[in-house]
Amino acid sequence: MTIVASMQAGQTTVEYVGDGKGKESLEGYWNKFEREELLGIEAISIDMSAAYRQSVLDNVPAALEEAGVRRFHIMQHINKSVNAVRKRRT
């Protein structure tokens, strides 16, 4: 499942739920907006999925420069790298 949520003033609201985890799963969300509205999006936090990044790039190109990646995914990559180095040293 793909979930899009809006976070404002400490409150999270689910705006959209799509089937799957691919680029197509976000198309229904983007289609709700006029082009001017998409250009007004100021910040996006996304999963590190290449499909999600491409969907944002296709629909809100300026927002990708401001896109944040969830801390979980960053730490997951760091932990895998540290573990790989540890395995090589033993």
Instruction: Give the containing element (helix H, strand E) for 73.
Output: helix 71-89
Q: Counting Cβ atoms within 10 Å, is residue 9 exposed (0-12), middle (13-18) or buried (19+)?
A: exposed
Question: Facing residues of 5 across strands?
Answer: 14
pLDDT at 85 exceeding the cut of 90: no
pTM: 0.63
Per-residue pLDDT at 64 = 60
Whether the CB-CB separation of 56 and 46 falls below 8 Å is answered with yes
Instruction: Spell out the residues 6+ positions from residue 47 whose beta carbon is closer than 8 angstroms to its own.
Output: 69, 70, 73
Per-residue pLDDT at 21 = 87
* 71-80 confidence digits (pLDDT tens): 666 677 677 8
Per-residue pLDDT at 18 = 92
* 25-64 confidence digits (pLDDT tens): 999 999 999 988 988 887 787 777 888 888 988 888 777 6
Question: Facing residues of 3 across strands?
Answer: 17
